[in-house]
Amino acid sequence: MSRMYFSYVWLVLPALFCWERAAYGHGLLLDAQILERGYAKIPHVSPYNIADYHVREADSQAVIADYCRKVSQEFKRYGWEDNPCGEVQWSADLQTASGMPLIYASFGSGRETTLFMGGVHPDELSPIQLAFRFARYLSNNPDLYQKQGLRVVVAPLVAPDGFFRDRPLRTNGRIDVNRNFFTMDWYDKAHHAWQHRTAGAGRYFPGYFPNTEVETLFQVWLVDAYTPDKLFSVHAPLGFLDYDGPGDQKPSHLSRTEKKAKQYVYEVSKQTENYRVVDYSFYPGSLGNFAGNERKVPTITLELEATNPRGVHKYWEKFLPGFVRSVNYPFRRDHRPEPGNASRFFAVYDEVFLKLQRMGLSLN
Ligand SMILES: [Zn+2]
């Protein structure tokens, strides 16, 4: 495994500007003056250092096997006796700041794709066990997708760095990766929402700027690479199903596509003892906002009733039918690019990898 290096961005403290404005009245400082004053080092991922977060293909299976052993040890801490990774064919292309591979598995070769994620908030323990279990279940039950033109991609633990702690964290150690997506409202609203809706608590920190975390980019990459038709992410403990996507927050005059997309959440609810569906507004920088609201991928956020690790067997019985429905509910999103639509986000990173390859620094 390659050693991890952080690169740093130099951030001028905004307070400094305010003070200078008051002191000099014009608000401008010479570069040299700024350099003498205050900076903070902020670790972040960028096209310049993404190679440090890449798992070499030649190493990936050994890295994944080692990781699975570690996850298995954590499972035992919570009284979960199952072998989390099982016989699933896992892949990993990216790793976290502490070198944990960001694993995922793809089942079936159809075009209609569902992306299923757990462990975005790794202190919410029960979803992590369920997501690993669902991946094993899919691996053992190919009838669910094989002949039906379906594909399912499962990323069971999106933010592992917060999981491998004595007391697991909501963040990846620094940032809430479900507030770090570069949504259109991020610069306008993310910090305001953090201060006012979550009282500026560190566990909800959206980052100094968006897309700084490899765990955020991992999810963006999954959306880019697999172009899912729908998306399902498991959280806890708020006890509801929330839908973001076509037709959301629109009570009437829905188009056929909007109706069909919105029906997704009710079909899942039906299969889970009519689990409560709420219309919860989304946050700046959240997955529901990024994928559901902006990219029109029907997105369900399932909030289990509790994070308590002892509840998992009960939850498995209750939610498995809903998980299965999330996969086989028929919905194909319009994949035609909209006029003027931006290129795929990861194209810029792909270019970096190509350049490095040309320079003989082959990554895999
Ligand atoms: Zn959560």
Listed in sequence order, the residues at least 6 apart from 216 whose beta carbon sits closer than 8 Å to its beta carbon are 177, 180, 181, 210
183 CA to centre of ligand 1 in angstroms: 18
Under 8 Å between Cβ of 242 and 288: yes
Output the CA 120–ligand 1 centroid distance in Å: 7
Given this model, what pLDDT does residue 356 score? Answer: 66
Distance 356 CA to ligand 1 centre (A): 36
Task: Quote the pLDDT of residue 101.
Answer: 98
Q: Give the domain ranges of the chain.
A: 7-44, 50-358
Single-letter amino acid code for the residue at 73: Q
pLDDT of residue 360: 61
Per CATH, the homologous superfamily of domain 50-358 is Zn peptidases (3.40.630.10)
d(CA 145, CA 162): 32
CA of 190 to the centre of ligand 1 (A): 17
Q: Which two tokens stand for residue 164?
A: 């491998």
Measured N-to-C along each axis, helices 125-140 and 312-328 cross at an angle, to the nearest 10 degrees, of: 50
Mean pLDDT across the chain: 88
CA of 248 to the centre of ligand 1 (A): 20
Q: How far is the CA of 140 from the centre of ligand 1 (A)?
A: 28
- Residue 124 alpha carbon to ligand 1 centre in Å: 7
pLDDT of residue 104: 98
CA of 101 to the centre of ligand 1 (A): 21
74 alpha carbon – ligand 1 mean position (Å): 19
**Range with the poorest average pLDDT among 20-24, 138-142, 329-333:** 20-24
Compute the distance from residue 231 Cα to the ligand 1 centre, in Å.
Answer: 15
Residue-wise pLDDT for 277-303, tens only, equals: 998 888 999 999 999 999 999 999 999
pLDDT reported for residue 79: 96
Are β-strands 101-107 and 150-155 bridged in parallel, bridged antiparallel, or unpaired?
antiparallel
Nearest one of 207, 261, 274, 277 to 229, comparing CA atoms: 261
pLDDT digits (tens, 9 = 90+) for 174-204: 999 999 999 999 999 999 999 999 999 999 9
- Residue 67 CA to ligand 1 center (angstroms) comes to 23
Is the model's pLDDT at 7 over the cut of 80?
Answer: no
Length of the chain in terms of residues written:
364
CA of 201 to the centre of ligand 1 (A): 15
